[in-house]
Amino acid sequence: MNADALRQAASFCAYQERTVQEVRQKLSAWDVSEEDTEAILARLIQDGYLSEERFAKSFSRGKFRTRHWGKIKIEMEMRRKGLGETDRKNALEEIDQTEYHDSLKSLLAKKDASLKDTDPRVRKQKLVRYALSKGYESGLVWKVLGEDWD
């Protein structure tokens, strides 16, 4: 096994949470052989530098709290990063439902304040489109808009 590549990969993983796919791409960019790549990945997982479950939970919490993404968008992004279904599902379950609902309400209120249209139907349509683009579920969006915007 290539000791330099292992050290570099461990440093890469220690800096922030990574997926196996990201580390595999980095090792490939460093021209590490396929055999060494598999050995390095196994060692990183064994030593606790690499955990897709930990990455998924951190990723979903971060995107929800900082970017105010909805579960649909978070899940699509985790899928794009090559995370397994179990890891994605467990990570999304970490998001508190009350906090999720309140975040959507806050997001919609802020967007509503920025809209210039006076027609209530147009405003509502724009709010729905905005919330869907952020990855919130349509049923929840309509429910929240029904509660506060009638």
- Tens digits of per-residue pLDDT, 28-58? 999 999 999 999 999 999 999 999 999 999 9
Burial bucket for residue 123 (CB in 10 Å: 0-12, 13-18, 19+): middle
Cα–Cα distance for residue pair 140/143, rounded to 1 Å: 5
Q: Is the pLDDT of residue 146 over 90?
A: no
pLDDT digits (tens, 9 = 90+) for 99-118: 999 999 999 999 999 999 88
Q: Which phi and psi angles does 68 have, rounded to 5°?
A: 60, 40
User: Contact at 8 Å (CB) between 120 and 57?
Assistant: no
Structure token pair of residue 22? 């990201």
pLDDT of residue 14: 93
Mean pLDDT of the chain, nearest integer: 93
Dihedral sign for Cα atoms in the order 101, 102, 107, 110: positive
d(CA 22, CA 9): 10
